[in-house]
């Protein structure tokens, strides 16, 4: 674990250094910004162990320093960041920890076009260490997992390492037709749980996803795509246990700009999984206008479990997010989510999760803002004939400073 952690942080530091070099006077057309930030917060959490039956509450003080580099140059655009999250518990000091986050996102289109004029390339990597395994509305103080990796699954408190890397190549065949591809590697590693979860244990999970297909710009308002996707998921646990599954499938996608403010994105298809077929859907409707935005998003997909049982899950989730710029200084945002997960092809594991969150941000100055956040989440987990249900409420007040 430590070697992986150190290597990834080294990659981020090297990227920050590279971005800084590219922004030197030697490259007059390039610009690099180094942005330090610091967040100080106090939160009240009603369930610090994230399990049923032992809903311990506590007050948590957090300090989160972060360093980000942003680069815009002739050959490359990108960002890199590294941060810490120091958490101190008032009632349970034995849970104190320092989490880490690090990542980089690079657009290498212009660099690769010097050698292959029709090609494009984007690269991303994100890493986090935290004992607060995230779900819909888990605290962000300990780090963030990529969307979809933990969606709807709330595990007990345990040390975890999560990393996701992605490579997105593309090739322009004609002005309106291109080939797009993606390779994603994501993994999560877990230590011992802080409390007995009740239904089961953690599984180290590794996922590899490959997708590719044509994308056609039919009109200025319509884009169509045809995508093949392969996913390989593997599970392991102490004692030599190991298992996994594979999926193969395809989707047809359509992006439509309905009005200057309204955009629709829908894709659907089938996935072949263990001698059976499952239909998949990813649909979103987004509206933005003058400081107001609303998005409705629905997905149906096969994803790996990492808690209680190492199995494949059929996940159906819907989320409604909205934001409103109330005044020049005051910004309000919110989210409502519901997720239903069940193991396939045999339904031995089920999870139902729902919740909502509200955040109010007030800008004190160009560099300082105050955030007030409340989230509620409910989880019902079932394994074979057992079932547990628990809630979690979090109230957070934080002071954020960004020296841009």
Q: Which residues, 6 or more positions from 70, have their beta carbon under 8 angstroms from its beta carbon?
A: 19, 32, 33, 35, 78, 79
Residue 199 pLDDT: 57
- Examine the pLDDT at 65 and tell me if it is beyond 90: yes
| Per-residue pLDDT at 196 | 58
Say whether pLDDT at 138 is over 80.
no
- Computed over every residue of the chain, the mean pLDDT equals 85
Is the pLDDT assigned to residue 139 strictly greater than 50?
no
Average pLDDT over residues 1-20: 43
pLDDT (mean) for 42-51: 90
Residue 200: per-residue pLDDT: 63
Cα–Cα dist 317/101, whole Å: 26
Band of residue 24 on the pLDDT scale cut at 50, 70, 90: very low
Among 207-216, 248-257, 386-395, the least confident range = 386-395
| H or E element in which residue 7 lies | helix 2-22
So where are the chain's domains?
Answer: 2-402
Mean pLDDT of 173-198: 85
Please give the pLDDT value at position 1. Answer: 40
Largest distance between two CA atoms of the chain: 67
Q: What is the mean pLDDT of residues 335-361?
A: 91
**Beta strands in 203-305, from DSSP E residues, in sequence order:** 204-217, 222-237, 241-257, 262-273, 276-289, 292-304
pLDDT of 240: 66
Top mean-pLDDT range of 10-19, 35-44, 66-75, 298-307:
35-44
**What is residue 30's predicted lDDT score, i.e. its pLDDT?**
62
Mean pLDDT to the nearest integer, 155-172: 89
Quick check: 237 pLDDT over 50? yes
Contact present, 291 and 325 (Cβ < 8 Å): yes
- pLDDT band with cut points at 50, 70 and 90 for residue 168: very high
| C-alpha distance from residue 357 to each of 41, 57, 242 (Å) | 17, 19, 37
pLDDT of residue 219: 95
Q: Tokens 């963030």 label which residue?
A: 144
Whether the pLDDT of residue 313 is over 70: the answer is: yes
Span 80-87, mean pLDDT? 95
Supply the pLDDT for residue 10.
Answer: 44
The pLDDT-based confidence of 239 (bands split at 50, 70, 90) is: low
Burial 262-298 (b: 16+ CB within 10 A, else e): ebebbbebebebeeeebebebbbebbeeeeebebebb
| Distances from the Cα of 4 to the Cα of 158, 248, 255, 297, angstroms | 18, 30, 38, 34
Q: For tokens 């309000």, what's the residue?
A: 332
Q: Is pLDDT at 152 greater than 80 in this prediction?
A: no
The answer to whether 344 and 302 have CB atoms below 8 angstroms apart is yes
The 10s digit of each residue's pLDDT in 368-377 is 999 999 999 9
CATH number of 2-402: 2.40.160
CB count, 10 Å around CB of 168? 16
What does pTM read for this prediction? Answer: 0.83
Percent of the chain with pLDDT over 70: 84
Residue 204 has pLDDT above 70, yes or no: yes
In this prediction, residues 176-188 reach a mean pLDDT of 95
Report for 71-75, 228-232, 345-349: range of highest mean pLDDT: 228-232
Mean pLDDT within 86-112: 94
Under DSSP, is residue 393 helix (H, G, I), strand (E, B) or coil?
strand
What does the pLDDT read at residue 346?
86
pLDDT score, position 381 = 84
Over the range 128-137, which residues count as b (16 or more CB within 10 Å of their CB) and which as e? bbbbbbbbbb
> Does the pLDDT value for residue 149 go beyond 80?
no
Mean pLDDT of 5-13: 42
pLDDT in tens, 258-268: 999 999 999 99
Q: 359 pLDDT band (50/70/90 cuts)?
A: very high
Is 242 or 352 the better-scoring residue by pLDDT?
A: 352
């Amino acid at each position: 674990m430590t070697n992986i952690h150190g290597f990834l942080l080294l990659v981020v530091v090297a990227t920050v250094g590279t971005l800084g070099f590219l922004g030197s006077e030697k490259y007059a057309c390039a610009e690099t910004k180094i942005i330090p930030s610091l967040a100080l917060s106090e939160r009240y959490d009603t369930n610090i162990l994230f399990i049923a039956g032992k809903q311990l509450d506590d007050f948590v003080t957090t300090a989160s320093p972060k360093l980000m580099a942003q680069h815009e140059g002739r050959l490359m655009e990108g960002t890199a960041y590294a941060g810490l999250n120091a958490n101190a518990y008032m009632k349970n000091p034995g849970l104190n920890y320092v989490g880490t986050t690090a990542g980089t996102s690079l657009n290498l289109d212009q660099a690769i076009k010097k050698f292959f004029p029709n090609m494009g390339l984007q690269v991303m990597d994100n890493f986090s260490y935290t004992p607060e395994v995230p779900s819909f509305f888990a605290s962000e103080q300990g780090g963030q997992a990529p969307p979809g990796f933990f969606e709807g699954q709330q595990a007990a408190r345990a040390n975890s390492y999560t990393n996701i890397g992605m490579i997105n190549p593309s090739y322009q065949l004609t002005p309106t037709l291109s080939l797009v591809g993606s390779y994603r590697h994501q993994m999560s590693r877990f230590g011992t749980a802080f409390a007995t979860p009740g239904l089961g244990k953690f599984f180290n999970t590794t996922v590899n996803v490959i997708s590719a297909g044509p994308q056609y710009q039919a009109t200025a308002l319509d884009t169509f795509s045809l995508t093949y996707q392969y996913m390989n998921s593997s599970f392991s646990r102490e004692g030599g246990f190991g298992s996994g599954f594979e999926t193969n499938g395809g989707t047809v996608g359509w992006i439509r700009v309905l009005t200057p403010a309204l955009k629709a994105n829908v894709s659907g298809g089938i996935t072949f999984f263990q001698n059976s077929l499952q239909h998949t859907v990813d649909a979103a409707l987004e509206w933005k206008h003058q400081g107001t935005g609303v998005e409705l998003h629905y997905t149906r997909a096969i994803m790996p479990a990492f808690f209680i049982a190492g199995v494949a899950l059929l996940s159906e989730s819907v989320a409604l997010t909205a934001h409103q710029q109330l005044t020049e200084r005051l910004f309000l945002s919110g989210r409502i989510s519901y997720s239903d997960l069940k193991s396939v092809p045999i339904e031995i594991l089920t999870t139902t999760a729902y919740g909502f969150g509200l955040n109010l941000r007030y800008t004190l100055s160009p560099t300082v803002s105050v955030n007030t956040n409340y989230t509620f989440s409910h989880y019902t987990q079932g394994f074979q004939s057992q079932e547990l249900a628990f809630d979690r409420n979090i109230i957070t007040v934080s002071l954020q400073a960004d020296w841009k």
